[in-house]
């Protein structure tokens, strides 16, 4: 058993002697993995904060080409160490190398870093806005402190605090990062941190641009996000902890971006079932069990009309749920979460359709599970029945008629996504036109005839949504360049001389392709 060091100011340091230790349980075997990791204490964190501030001064003298070079060599280095990353992440999370970590999540992670590098080099992300007559020029610029990133348990690569989307965005916007590993992925995160440090060295960025800790006590996380030296925080994780962090950061006036919970309602209109019931049942099963149901966009609530077709749809779905092999969960907490959620749903009137049992064996495993409830009973306890649950579980809500379906939709909480399945021709158009405006205001991304689990990294993507799915309905954590502006301040120059302006705001377009809003027009030209 060796105790792993933390990364502070470019040095792999032994944690403070007062740090407690933890290790990760292999979810496939329930046996502890070898390495031990420190729960870092505040004195180490403060050292990192101070080092970040020195890095900021140095970062300001670097060009965005340096930043882009870092992101690209980091991407290359990750590629180089990919098998080690896949092996470690698979041990820590039980997520399979195929068809997940190797062919999907790692390429996505590398692609995000490359997109972020492009954004840094291109500079359009900073939305340079120029009024030549009034001599006023503004743009987004990096924050006055480092970005703290907390990563979730379900994407060891693509949302990793030391390599994922938040990391790529924060760095591309010119900020140093303090990465807090997810407690169940310290080994994976350590490899990313090592890889990042190498890339920092070759690209000439200050070494304190990326620092990493494995875990902190909740009280210390709260002190960290509200610390005077922090710039902003990005958090993906549980609603209960997210809200505690939010309160602390808000009170200190520190921006915090949170992705906290989503049950991703799917409304299935009658025409869709009439037309392609079996196809949708399979799509739903695949989406609900993707990543063993541990996606923040998992469809956790299906709303449909109680009729023969609706029942038949549930039957077809049930057959898929029963015949599919349940995968291994991320950890024991997810298993316990499933058990307690099912208990709560039953308490408020839901009935088990299939599953709802722990699968006893070597690993943490739970049967694919469906529950059902009447619209009336749902309407009695809408809050209690809308709690995000990771794992292969979904709740069918059968509305007695379309009016009740509308009522149910109107009581949904804020979600990342909401989906409507409808007839491919116009059979459902009238119902769609009535339900869409209600659902629209409840969700960040509205889908048609497609399950919500895929989240493309596109400039048009919005991976965000109304509270409490996130902390603010205007920001996205996926999609470049929009995800960068979370980690930026707006900086305005009034009557400032040409040679004193940042490159992005001078008359000459610094990249020749940067988009700027000049005197009311978007343009790539010089002034």
Residue 444 interacts with a copy of itself (CB under 8 A): yes or no? yes
**Tokens 């359709």 map to which residue?**
353
List the one residue out of 87, 168, 39, 44 whose CA is nearest residue 486: 168
Q: In angstroms, what is the minimal distance from the CB of 487 to a copy of itself?
A: 10
| Contact status: 174 vs a copy of itself (CB under 8 A) | no
Q: Are strands 232-236 and 147-150 parallel, antiparallel or unpaired?
A: parallel
Counting residues that bind a copy of itself (by CB under 8 A) gives: 71
The H or E element containing residue 420 is strand 415-421
Verify binding: residue 360, a copy of itself, rule CB under 8 A: no
Name which position in 254, 298, 372, 423 contacts a copy of itself (CB under 8 A).
254
Please report whether residue 1 would count as binding a copy of itself according to CB under 8 A: no
Site for a copy of itself in 56-85 (CB under 8 A): 57, 60
Instruction: Locate 158 and state its tokens.
Output: 């693509």
Instruction: Identify which of residues 61 and 323 has a Cβ nearer to a copy of itself in the complex.
Output: 61
* CA 437/CA 320 separation, integer angstroms: 32
Residue 527 is a binding residue for a copy of itself (CB under 8 A)? no
Separation CA 44–CA 53 (nearest Å)? 15
Cβ distance 76 to 62 under 8 Å? no
Does position 437 interact with a copy of itself (CB under 8 A)? The reply is yes
> How many CA atoms does the CB half-sphere of 142 hold within 13 Å?
29
Please state whether beta strands 443-448 and 415-421 pair in parallel, antiparallel, or not at all (unpaired).
parallel
Residue 13 host element (H or E): strand 11-13
Q: Residues 440, 507, 508, 525: which binds a copy of itself (CB under 8 A)?
A: 440
Residues 105, 259, 388, 504: which is the catalytic one? Answer: 259
What is the SS3 assignment for 116?
helix
Q: Does 390 bind a copy of itself (CB under 8 A)?
A: no
Backbone torsions φ then ψ of 10, nearest 5 degrees: 80, 0
Is 259 designated active site? yes
Mark the segment that binds a copy of itself (CB under 8 A) among 90-98, 200-208, 252-260, 280-288.
Answer: 252-260
* 522 near a copy of itself, judged by CB under 8 A: yes
Q: List b or e across 312-338, with b for residues whose CB sees 16 or more CB atoms inside 10 angstroms.
A: ebbebbbebbeeeebbbbbbeebbebb
Residue closer to a copy of itself (CB basis): 251 or 360: 251
In this chain, which stretch among 65-73, 80-88, 184-192, 492-500 interacts with a copy of itself, using CB under 8 A? Answer: 492-500
* From 30, 43, 474, 526, residue interacting with a copy of itself (rule: CB under 8 A): 474
Evaluate whether 307 touches 374 at the Cβ level (below 8 Å).
Answer: no
The answer to whether 144 contacts a copy of itself (rule: CB under 8 A) is yes
In 3D, which of 228, 201, 174 has the Cα closest to residue 62?
174
CA angle 308, 324, 85 (to 5 degrees): 135
Question: Which listed residue (198, 491, 506, 527) binds a copy of itself by CB under 8 A?
Answer: 491
Measured from the CB atom, is 215 or 462 closer to a copy of itself?
Answer: 462
Q: Kindly tell me which residue out of 227, 298, 320, 445 binds a copy of itself, with binding defined by CB under 8 A.
A: 445
Q: Is 376 in the site for a copy of itself (CB under 8 A)?
A: no
Interface region with a copy of itself, contact rule CB under 8 A, candidates 20-28, 195-203, 398-406, 456-464: 456-464
Is 492 part of the annotated catalytic residue set? no
- To 10 degrees, what angle do helices 106-122 and 64-80 make? 170
Two tokens, residue 276: 């392609």
> Closer CB to a copy of itself, residue 357 or residue 407?
407
DSSP codes of every residue in 470-499: BS-TT--SSSTTGGGGGGEEEEEEES--GG
Give dist(CA 168, CA 163) in Å, integer.
7
d(CA 141, CA 128): 10
Smallest gap from residue 136 Cβ to a copy of itself (A): 4
What binding mask, one character per residue, do residues 396-435 give for a copy of itself by CB under 8 A, x or -?
------------------x--x--------------x---
Tell the smallest beta-carbon distance from residue 6 to a copy of itself (Å).
Answer: 27
Residues of this chain, 100-129, that bind a copy of itself according to CB under 8 A = 129
Pick 360 or 521: Cβ nearer a copy of itself? 521
Please list every residue from 314 through 333 that binds a copy of itself, using CB under 8 A: none
Which of the 8 DSSP states describes residue 292? G
Indicate which residues carry an active-site annotation.
Answer: 259, 296
């Amino acid at each position: 058993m060796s105790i792993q060091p933390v990364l502070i100011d470019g040095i792999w340091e032994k944690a403070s002697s007062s740090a407690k230790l933890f290790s990760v349980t292999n979810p496939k075997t329930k046996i502890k993995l070898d390495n031990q990791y420190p729960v870092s204490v505040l004195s180490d964190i403060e050292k990192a904060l101070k080092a970040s501030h020195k890095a900021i001064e140095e970062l300001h003298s670097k060009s965005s080409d340096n930043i882009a070079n870092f992101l690209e060599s980091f991407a290359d280095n990750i590629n180089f160490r990919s098998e080690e990353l896949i092996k470690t992440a698979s041990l820590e999370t039980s997520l399979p190398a195929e068809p997940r970590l190797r062919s999907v999540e790692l390429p996505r992670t590398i692609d995000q870093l490359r997109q972020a590098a492009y954004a840094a080099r291109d500079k359009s992300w900073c939305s340079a806005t120029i009024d030549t007559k009034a001599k006023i020029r503004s743009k987004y610029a990096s924050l006055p402190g480092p970005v703290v990133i907390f990563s979730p348990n379900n994407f060891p690569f693509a949302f990793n605090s030391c390599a994922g989307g938040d990391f790529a965005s924060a760095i591309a916007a010119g900020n140093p990062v303090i990465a807090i590993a997810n407690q169940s992925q310290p080994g994976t995160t350590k490899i990313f941190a090592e890889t990042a440090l190498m890339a920092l060295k070759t690209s000439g960025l200050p070494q304190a641009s990326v620092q990493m800790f494995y875990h902190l006590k909740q009280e210390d996380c709260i002190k960290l996000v509200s610390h005077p030296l922090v710039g902003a925080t990005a958090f993906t994780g549980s609603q209960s902890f997210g809200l505690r962090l939010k309160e602390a950061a808000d009170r200190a006036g520190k921006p915090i971006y949170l992705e906290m919970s989503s049950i991703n309602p799917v409304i299935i209109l009658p025409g869709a079932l009439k037309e392609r019931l079996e196809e949708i049942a399979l799509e739903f099963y695949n989406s609900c069990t993707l990543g063993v149901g541990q996606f923040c966009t998992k469809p956790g609530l299906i709303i449909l009309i109680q009729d023969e077709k609706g029942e038949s749809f549930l039957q077809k779905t049930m057959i898929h749920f029963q015949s599919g092999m349940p995968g291994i969960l991320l950890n024991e907490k997810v298993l316990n979460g499933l058990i307690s959620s099912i208990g709560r749903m039953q308490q408020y009137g839901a009935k088990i359709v299939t599953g709802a049992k722990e699968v006893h064996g070597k690993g943490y495993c739970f049967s694919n599970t469906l529950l059902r409830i009447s619209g009336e009973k749902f309407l009695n306890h809408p809050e209690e029945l809308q709690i995000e649950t990771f794992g292969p579980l979904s709740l069918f809500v059968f509305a007695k008629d379309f009016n009740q379906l509308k009522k149910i939709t109107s009581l949904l909480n804020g979600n990342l996504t909401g989906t409507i399945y409808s007839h491919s021709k116009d059979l459902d158009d009238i119902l769609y036109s009535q339900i869409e405006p209600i659902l629209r205001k409840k969700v960040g991304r509205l889908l048609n005839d497609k399950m919500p689990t895929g989240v493309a990294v596109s400039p048009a993507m919005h991976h965000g949504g109304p509270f409490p799915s996130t902390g603010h309905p205007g920001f996205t954590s996926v999609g470049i360049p929009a995800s960068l502006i979370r980690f930026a301040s707006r900086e305005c120059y009034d009557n400032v001389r040409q040679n004193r302006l940042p490159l992005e705001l001078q008359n000459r377009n610094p990249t020749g392709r940067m988009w700027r809003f000049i005197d009311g027009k978007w343009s790539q030209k010089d002034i």
